[in-house]
Amino acid sequence: VLDALDDPAVDQQGGSFCDPDGPAVSIASPGGGRRYEFMLLEDELAADALQAASLARRLQPFRAWDPASIVRATVYTFHARIAERLADGRVFLLGDAAHLTPPFAGQGMNAGLRDAHNLGWKIALVCRGLADPAILDSYEQERREPIWAMIQLAVAMGEFVMPTTTVQRALKDSLMTALERFPKARDYLFQMRFKPRPRYERGLFIDLDAPEFTGSLVGEMLPQPWVRDLRDPQSGRARLDDTLGAGFALIAQDPDGVARLTACRHPLLSALPMTRCCVVCGREAGRMTRTDSEPVALRHAEDPATMRAIRAHRDQIMLVRPDRYVMAACWPESLEPMLDRLTALLGGVPGPQS
C-alpha cells in the first residue's frame, strides 16, 4: 500500500486494474492525495517490494516517480477471520477485536459500527435496570452470521478484482463487456446491490420465524424516508430516523393505529424511552386527525419509493428497536399484548436503578 500526495487524476475517481502480472487498486484519498494498492505475487518478498526501484516500477503506469510525494509505503496482510466467541461473560468483542476482513467490500469499519449499534442499547438498558442481562446473549446470536457473510463477500470481490491468471482476467473482461448490454444488471453489480441485506435471522425479536405475510420487515432495518412534521407545514424535512429519538419506537400508518397508540396506557410506555409516531404519504395525510392524536407524532413522508417497504405494514403497528431494526409488528387491537411480550422478552422491565 502506497500513499502519495498531489493526486494527478483530475476526476478523483478510483479503479481496479486487473492485470494478472500485478493487480492494483487506485483510489483518491483526503487532501488531494491518492492511495495505490498493489498485490504481491507468490514469488515476491515484502522487503523487496518496498525498495524505491520496485515502487517506481509499480507506479509507472499511474504517475512519475517522485520520492518527495510519497507519504508512506507499507505491506499489509489481509485476513478473513472471526473470533470463536463474540462474548464471554461480561466481555464482548467488537470491530477488529472480533473479526478481520479484506478491504475490497469497504465494510471493515462499517461492520464494527454495526457491532456497536447492536450491543450499545442493550448494555444501556441493562445498566439502567430496564432489562435482564440475558438480553446481551442476543449480540452473538444476531451478529455472527452477518459478519461472516460480509467477510465472504469481501473475499469474493478481492478474487474478482485481483485476478492472478490470464484466464481469470479474460473471464472478468468478458463479463464486464456483456454487462454493458444489460444496464440494470450492470448497475446491480457496480452499485454493490448484491451486498447482504441488513437483516437478522435470529435474536431479540418477536415472531421473527413466523412472519404474517411476504414482505414483512420484522428482523430488517427500518427504511429511512424523508419526512416532515404534519402539524408544522413549514418545518424542514428530516430522515425518519432523526425524528424517532434514541429509544424504541411504535409506528402506525392509519387512523386506527394512531387511535390505539393515543389511547394506550401500557406501563412499558413510561418505563422505557419509546416514541409513538404515525407516518403517512401522499393523499393519506388528509385522513389524519391533527388535533386529538397527542402524544403521537405525525409525519408526512416525501419519499414514496422508500416508503414502499414500510407500507407493507400500513394496517399494523410496528415496534422498532433503538438500533432501528423492526422488532415486531401487530394489528392495532393486539398492541397491548405485543407490549406484554416485549416486557417478557426484556426480562420484566423492573424499572430504573437509582
Average pLDDT for 280-294: 68
- The full DSSP string for 87-108 is EETTEE--GGGTEE--GGGS-H
**Overall residue count recorded for the chain in this entry:** 354
Average pLDDT for 322-347: 97
Strand boundaries in 2-156, DSSP class E: 2-4, 15-17, 24-29, 33-38, 70-73, 81-82, 87-88, 91-92, 99-100
Same-domain check for residues 325 and 234: yes
Q: Which domain holds residue 92?
A: 81-190
Q: Which residues of 271-300 are buried (b: 16+ CB within 10 A; e: fewer)?
A: ebbbbbbbbbbeebbeebeeeebeebbbbb
Would you say residue 154 lies in a domain?
Answer: yes
Identify the pLDDT of residue 88: 94
pTM: 0.85
pLDDT in tens, 159-191: 877 777 778 878 877 887 888 888 888 787 777
Residue 327 above 90 pLDDT? yes
Note whether 320 and 222 are within 8 A (CB). Answer: yes
Sign of CA dihedral 122, 127, 129, 132: positive
Would you say residue 221 lies in a domain?
Answer: no
Identify the pLDDT of residue 291: 47
Same-domain check for residues 62 and 88: no
Same-domain check for residues 54 and 115: no
Same-domain check for residues 233 and 330: yes
Identify the pLDDT of residue 3: 93
Last residue of a domain, one of 162, 190, 218: 190
Note whether 158 and 104 are within 8 A (CB). Answer: yes
Would you say residue 218 lies in a domain?
Answer: no
Same-domain check for residues 86 and 51: no
Would you say residue 204 lies in a domain?
Answer: no
Identify the pLDDT of residue 317: 97
Phi, psi of 343 (to 5 degrees): -60, -45
CATH of the domain at 236: 3.40.30.10
Structurally, the chain folds into a number of domains equal to 3
Last residue of a domain, one of 140, 162, 190: 190
What percent of the chain lies above the pLDDT cut of 70? 96
Other beta carbons within 10 angstroms of residue 323's beta carbon come to: 18
Q: Which three cell numbers stand for residue 230?
A: 404534519
Would you say residue 235 lies in a domain?
Answer: yes
CATH of the domain at 124: 3.50.50.60
Would you say residue 296 lies in a domain?
Answer: yes
Identify the pLDDT of residue 352: 62
pLDDT in tens, 126-160: 999 999 999 999 999 999 999 999 999 988 888 87
Under the banding of pLDDT at 50, 70 and 90, the label for residue 51 is very high
pLDDT in tens, 193-214: 777 888 999 999 999 998 888 8
Same-domain check for residues 111 and 139: yes
pLDDT in tens, 224-278: 999 998 888 788 899 999 999 999 999 999 989 999 999 999 999 999 999 999 9
Would you say residue 206 lies in a domain?
Answer: no
Nearest to 288 by CA among 252, 321, 320, 323: 252
Same-domain check for residues 35 and 61: yes
Same-domain check for residues 118 and 69: no
Same-domain check for residues 93 and 170: yes
Identify the pLDDT of residue 124: 96
Identify the pLDDT of residue 292: 55
Would you say residue 199 lies in a domain?
Answer: no
Q: Which three cell numbers stand for residue 101?
A: 476482513
Same-domain check for residues 59 and 97: no
Same-domain check for residues 297 and 315: yes
Identify the pLDDT of residue 186: 79
Last residue of a domain, one of 73, 108, 129: 73
Same-domain check for residues 145 and 58: no
pLDDT in tens, 76-130: 888 999 999 999 999 999 999 999 998 887 888 999 999 999 999 999 999 999 9
